[in-house]
Structure 1
Amino acid sequence: MSRPGPGGSGVGGDHTVVNRPLLDSPSDYLLAAVLAVTAVGSMLTWLIGQTAALITGGGWAPVSPGETFAVATRLPEHLGDPAAAWPVAARAHLPGPVGFAVATVLDLLLLATISVVVLRRLGGTQRRRGMASAAQITRVFSPAAVRAAGQRLRPTLQQPPARPRVSRWLRRLPSLIDRGGSRSADEIGLDEVSVDVGRADPGVHGTSQPVRLGIENSVLVLAAARQGKTSQVVIPWVTSWPGPVLVTSVRPDVLRATAALRAGNLAVLDLTGTTWPHALGWSPTTGCQEFDTARRRADLMITVGKQGHSDATNAVFFGTSATNLLAGWMHAAALTGRTMREVLTWALDEHDTTCVDLLRRHSGAAPGVAGMLDALYRSPAETRSNLFATVLTGLAPLLSPVAHTAFCPTGPGFDPAEFLRGAGSVYLIVPETHTAELAPMVSVFVDEIVRTATAFAATAPTGRLDPPLGLFLDEVANVAPLPKLPDLMSYAAGSGIFVAAVLQDLAQARQRWGRDGADMLWGAATCKLVLGGLTGDEPETISRLVGTYRERLTTTSRTPHGPTVSTSLADRQILTPEAVRTLDPAQRQGLLLHATTPPVITRMVRHYESPRAGEHAHSVEQTRPQPVTGHEASRARTGKAGAA
């Protein structure tokens, strides 16, 4: 048999002793059982007798524990008068049968209580090998830890709350003077500096302390379908986020459950054929008076578009020229007050050179762009045809009437800077069956918000957005597959941008960004949150990435010459693939992997089970969609999104 020895987790920290059984035959075990029963019975008899004497005022009975074995053997003959079974010298101190009955009940209750406490304490000190200890969880994920980090990351939180009630202000006046008017860490709300990841699983870690994830992290969420990623992760995090949020999804669940709970302006870009209040419109030509902006957006649109059309082999070869062609069109449209509607018109007719003439006549045109476009139009017919076909991979979303309305507004459209300043909420909803063709436009919109936020952060005194921007990118590989998402995950947190990228599995990442890109994405995320239900090679991959612990095995055996002891080392998996696959959705389990901390298994709370369940239900009732009509959608998207 084996038993775990003392030691912490990690290399060389676990010790298992394997011994030959101490008892050789059934008769040995029987003898041991008899001795154990005798010892326990004697001690219990002595304890009951002494308790009976004390509670009835008889004082301490002059009987040693060793003498009570004989007492125990005589008790069956004296059940009507238990004192008669005791030595004569002790009988004067002992009560009648009622006193013994009361003492027996009290002692059994006391022993039961002590047993429960001891077992709980022993169980509380146990944790699965290789998993984070209570101290390690406290150091990184405790409320105190995230508050301390939050004071540094969000210095504005140290300012006293605005307009406190007079009575509260008077009570706090001495402490405010001592701190120069600043707020202490304990006064900072947890939702202002972290997101909730539930509580540590006590069966794994020996503690059920809260687990919070600070805003300085970037998170990669891996969750198979119907495992609770929306209800356990996205909805609770969006609800509590202290700053502006951008949410992507293939269904309106997050919008409906959180819209009424979010402060600030609300804007919805729904490409499923449904309209909501505060529908937004935004043109990719906005700001393209600067040719660098036009080329950057064109490059992103075509790069994402080509990913969704892997069979278009010529698109790879003509990528650079196609980017220049689309950038020239967007530059011309922006300079002359046109929209993506005209850009699409030019893309559908390779003989329409209107844009060249517009650029040649406009004084603000970037040098050489008109000549570049003219040269592309004069390319051989086959080359020109391939260029236009490549451009259309990025413009394909505009062929959808709903997307055309959203990205070709007739008014000023959505302003990312105003959205960030107002700590607003933007919801992007893309139909699951059309994510590939709509991805270029959705991606360029998300990229514009990220770039605007990064620019804001660069001019802030701390170099960070405060309050921070939350990017909750559900189904990111399909809805908004930013080519540089791995880079964004690595640097965004330093600018006050919290990224939570949600994938069904790593295979999605490999398909979209390639094997190297998927590895970069995994490495760039400071935290990974894994839910159950992963299939294929994913559980094995996660198990391998979680790592191993080293176990020292000490074996003791008997020989004719005496006992011998041997020691060996063995590497064990911290979590087996089966343990990863079977993370229990019924217990709301999630596996949290942090860059510098051993793994943590948490028990999360779904939004409809949380203390705010009623508020979420009210939000669902208040946020109702209506069927889209072309006139209403066009009118809704001619201006800026309204306030929620």
Structure 2
Amino acid sequence: MFHGNVWIFDPTNILDRKEPSTDHFNIIGMVRNSMDAEKVGAIFEAATHGEGSREGNPNAHFDLMGSKIIGSLLLAANVSGKNDRDVFRWAMTTDEDEPAAILDEHGFANQAATLRGLKRQPVETRGSVWATAQRCASPFEHEDYLASIRPVNDQHRVFDPVAFATSTDTLILLGSRTAGATSALVSSLVWDVFRSAQREALAGSNGRLRVPLVMELDEVGNTVILPELPEWYSFAGSLGIIISSYFQSVSQGRKQFGKEGMNELIGAASVLVYGGGGTEEDFVSSLSKIIGHYDHKVTSHSSSYNARSGHGRSSSDQIQRREILSAADLANLSPGTMYVRTSDGGGGIVASHYWFKDEQLTQKIEPRMRRLKMGLKSTGPGDKDLIDVG
């Protein structure tokens, strides 16, 4: 049976709805303390960083400090009842004084000291740190898609991540890394939902969510930029949080998490699904080695002749170790064919099942998609879902 509300965060109307969603999401409000400020600041920095590997970044120190500055500005805005306009103004005018005074007033002396200390840095250092903070503030630049993150009087229209964690609702997040850096907003919402679900699970008697949280994260690397994602994979399942992340390539994951981070994520995943087309030789070669070898019996025949015994024949068998699937086989899997491996050691080749080719699934899904595009409130599945659609 289908029940529960569907919440939609689609600030740039990727869904092309006739009427925009009336749902509201309190991005500023999720930054309640200094740890929240640091984590959300890191998400904003990563999501606005642009393409390219983070490894060997010569500006890493400025990026780190800039992420702390934007986090402190978000914290100052939340505790003083201000909004994204103030965060953007502080960043663009390189104003340390007003947010520092607010943080001091609300008991965040260390964050205030960090802001004031920036004024005493050399001009080049201060400029580089503020340049990062300004980049991090870019999601707040375009007024036309910020209505959904600003306060409203009707609290029934405001998404509550804590209530969501114990509900049967569905949350659909849509954004883009290029469309005004909305991926920073999407990624922060994913983080807030995960954080809330984690707390609810740990507060329960068995340490698990009563209703599992299913997180379908499409376009990881483009839309969902979460530095903590590999770490989440190591423990989320035990909390009743099921995460599925979709990458266009291994290289895309390495750009976001680094090679070691991507290896950590793959190693911690309960199920690995590879759909072919991989061009990273080291990755497909490692898959080939993991899949293993089989013993192939090779029989050879020989004949001989001598005057005493005449013609003779003999045969011998040899066992050769051969790859079950070579790197070339894996790179050239036919469309619709996937390799699946589970953490308990099982694995094999499977055929994809396309929902749009399944009449029963199509009849269930398409009407709901039409309702969403028309701007009508729909109902969601029994388990709560967090779905990112890049």
- CA shift digits 1:378-423 (9 cap, x unpaired): 4333322211111123222222335533334445642101122222
Matched, 1:429 2:174: yes
2:293/2:322 contact within 8 Å kept: yes
The within-5 A match list for 1:579-618 is: 579-585=329-335, 588-610=336-358, 611-618=360-367
Rounded Cα–Cα distance in structure 2 between residues aligned with 1:270 and 1:300? 19
Q: 1:511 to 1:313 in 2, by over 3 A?
A: closer
Which aligned segments of 4 or more residues in structure 1 are displaced greater than 6 angstroms?
309-314, 641-644
Matched, 1:297 2:30: no
Rounded Cα–Cα distance in structure 2 between residues aligned with 1:329 and 1:309? 27
Q: 1:513 to 1:292 in 2, by over 3 A?
A: closer
The within-5 A match list for 1:561-580 is: 564-580=314-330
Matched, 1:621 2:390: no
1:262/1:425 contact within 8 Å kept: no
Opposite residue 623 of structure 1, the aligned amino acid is L
Rounded Cα–Cα distance in structure 1 between residues aligned with 2:229 and 2:117? 34
- CA shift digits 1:244-268 (9 cap, x unpaired): xxxxxxxxxxxxxxxxx95311111
Matched, 1:367 2:115: no
- CA shift digits 1:11-43 (9 cap, x unpaired): xxxxxxxxxxxxxxxxxxxxxxxxxxxxxxxxx
Matched, 1:341 2:85: yes
1:304/1:439 contact within 8 Å kept: yes
Rounded Cα–Cα distance in structure 2 between residues aligned with 1:571 and 1:402? 63
Matched, 1:495 2:245: no
Task: Give, in angstroms, the shift of residue 620 of structure 1.
Answer: 3.0
SS in 2 for 1:597: coil
Matched, 1:316 2:60: yes
Opposite residue 387 of structure 1, the aligned amino acid is V
Rounded Cα–Cα distance in structure 2 between residues aligned with 1:296 and 1:439? 15
Q: Which residue of 2 aligns with 1:516?
A: 260
Task: Give, in angstroms, the shift of residue 474 of structure 1.
Answer: 0.8
Q: Which moved more, 1:540-549 or 1:465-474?
A: 540-549
Rounded Cα–Cα distance in structure 2 between residues aligned with 1:348 and 1:432? 21
Give the number of the structure whose alpha-carbon radius of gyration is greater: 1
Q: Which residue of 2 aligns with 1:206?
A: none
Q: Which residue of 1 aligns with 2:10?
A: 270
SS in 2 for 1:350: coil
Gaps of 5+ in 2: 381-390
SS in 2 for 1:467: coil
Q: 1:351 to 1:329 in 2, by over 3 A?
A: closer
Matched, 1:280 2:20: no
Q: Which residue of 1 aligns with 2:133?
A: 391
Q: Which residue of 2 aligns with 1:354?
A: 98
Q: 1:272 to 1:557 in 2, by over 3 A?
A: farther
Rounded Cα–Cα distance in structure 2 between residues aligned with 1:369 and 1:493? 34
SS in 2 for 1:624: helix
Opposite residue 108 of structure 2, the aligned amino acid is A
Q: 1:419 to 1:277 in 2, by over 3 A?
A: farther
Opposite residue 117 of structure 2, the aligned amino acid is A
2:176/2:222 contact within 8 Å kept: no
Q: Which residue of 1 aligns with 2:119?
A: 377
Q: 2:143 aligns with which of 392, 401, 409?
A: 401
Q: 2:294 aligns with which of 549, 559, 576?
A: 549
- CA shift digits 1:415-473 (9 cap, x unpaired): 101122222111111247438x3333222221111111111111122211122111111
Rounded Cα–Cα distance in structure 1 between residues aligned with 2:176 and 2:2? 24
Q: 1:595 to 1:369 in 2, by over 3 A?
A: closer
SS in 2 for 1:299: helix
TM-score by length of 1: 0.51
SS in 2 for 1:306: coil
Rounded Cα–Cα distance in structure 2 between residues aligned with 1:497 and 1:313? 33
Q: 1:620 to 1:555 in 2, by over 3 A?
A: same
Opposite residue 268 of structure 1, the aligned amino acid is I
Rounded Cα–Cα distance in structure 2 between residues aligned with 1:350 and 1:469? 40
2:43/2:188 contact within 8 Å kept: yes
Task: Give, in angstroms, the shift of residue 593 of structure 1.
Answer: 1.4
The within-5 A match list for 1:247-262 is: none
SS in 1 for 2:87: helix
Q: 1:482 aligns with which of 202, 208, 226?
A: 226
Task: Give, in angstroms, the shift of residue 487 of structure 1.
Answer: 1.5
1:350/1:384 contact within 8 Å kept: no
- CA shift digits 1:37-75 (9 cap, x unpaired): xxxxxxxxxxxxxxxxxxxxxxxxxxxxxxxxxxxxxxx
Q: Which residue of 2 aligns with 1:217?
A: none
Q: 1:415 to 1:581 in 2, by over 3 A?
A: same
TM-score by length of 2: 0.81
Rounded Cα–Cα distance in structure 2 between residues aligned with 1:389 and 1:419? 36
SS in 1 for 2:48: helix
Q: Which moved more, 1:328-337 or 1:425-434?
A: 425-434
